[in-house]
Amino acid sequence: MTYKKAGVNIDAGEEVVHRIKNTVRSTFTKHVLTDIGMFGAFYEAKFPQLKNPVLVSSVDGVGTKLKIAFLMKRYDTVGQDLVNHCVNDIAVCGATPLYFMDYFATGKLSPTIAAEVIGGFAKACKENGCSIIGGETAEMPGFYADGEFDLAGTIVGVVDKENIVNGKAIKKGDVLIGLPSTGLHTNGYSLARKVLIPTFSLRKKFPELHGTLGDALLAVHRSYLKPIQALTSKNLVHGMSHITGGGIIGNTMRIIPKGLSLKIDWLSWQRPFIFDLIQSVGQVPEYDMTRTFNLGVGLVFVVAKKNVDKALRILKSQKEKPFIMGEVV
C-alpha cells in the first residue's frame, strides 16, 4: 500500500503549485516578503499614512453555490465570489484589504480545476488590490463526492482607528442608500437549488435573465470596495451593511444602535427576475424571501439626511446605480 493507492496524489499537489505559481505571484505587492511554499507567509506591516492602524479580518465560504459550479462544470467564478465576499465584509468596517489566504479541499485533486479556482482568487485579488500570500490545498479521499470540493478564505485588512465604521454614529432619521446586487451573490443557494433544479435545466434560457439559468446562478458576487471608499474617504457614511445570509433587515440591524429600527421601502427598487422565479416556482413565503436573499440589494449605506444628495452624486460618478430605500426610525 502506498499513499497514492490510499488516494492522496502528492504529484498532483505539486502540479497545482507549479500551475498557480505565476498567477499567485502576480498578486504580490511590495509588502509580501515570502514566496510560495514557505511554512508561514510574511507580510510587512508598514502603514505610514495611518495614525493608529487596526487590523480587520474575516473568514467565509461560498456555500452551496459550489453545487451549481459542479453541475455546470465551470470553476472560474467561485474563486472570485469568495474573495469579493471577504473583501466586502471588511470594507463595510472601513478597512482596506491587504492579503487573502484560501483553503481548497477535495476528495481527488484535479490540478486543472484547482488552477481554475485559484485563478479566480487571483483575478479578484488584483481587482481589489490585495495579495494571495498563502493557502492550503487538501486532498482527502472518501471525504467529498467525486468531482466536488469546498472552499474557505481568510482576509486581513487595515483601517485607521479613527476611521472605523461600526454603526455607532447612526441616528434616527438617517437615510438608507442601496446598491444593486449582481444576483444571489453567495447566499440562499440551498433554497434556490431545491426549488429550481428539479424544475428547470441549468441550460434553459430566460429572456429576463439575458442568458441561461446556470449563468444567472453563477453570476459573480461583486466587490463594493470602490464605491465604499468613494464615500468613506469623504466621511459621508454612518454605517454600512453587506447583504448576505439574513437578508436586508437581518444584516443591516447588526449595525443599528439599540433603540433604533429600520423602515424599508420594499418598492423603491425593482426585484430582479431570478428572485421572482424562485418565489413563484417554489411558492416561497415573502417572509422567507426577505430573510434568505438579498433581493437585488447587495450593499446598504446609512447616511445622514443632509449628506444624501452628495453621496448619490459621488456614487453615480462611480458608475453605480444607487437608490434611496428607507430610513432609520
pTM of the model: 0.96
Q: What CATH class does 175-328 carry?
A: alpha beta
Q: Give strand pairing partners of 61.
A: 152
pLDDT of residue 138: 93
Does residue 140 carry a pLDDT above 90? yes
- Percent of the residues in the chain that have a pLDDT greater than 90, as a whole number: 93
Give CATH 3.30.1330.10 domain extents, the chain.
10-163
pLDDT digits (tens, 9 = 90+) for 177-195: 999 999 999 999 999 999 9
Mean pLDDT, residues 152-165: 98
pLDDT digits (tens, 9 = 90+) for 219-266: 999 999 999 999 999 999 999 999 998 999 999 999 999 999 999 999
Positions of E strands within 223-282: 239-242, 262-264
Domain 10-163 has CATH 3.90.245.10: no
pLDDT of residue 12: 87
Burial 147-158 (b: 16+ CB within 10 A, else e): eebbbbbbbbbb
- Which residue in 160, 42, 146 sits closest to 96, CA to CA? 160
pLDDT of residue 5: 83
Mean pLDDT of the chain: 96
pLDDT band at residue 8 using 50, 70 and 90 as cut-offs: confident
Give CATH 3.90.650.10 domain extents, the chain.
175-328
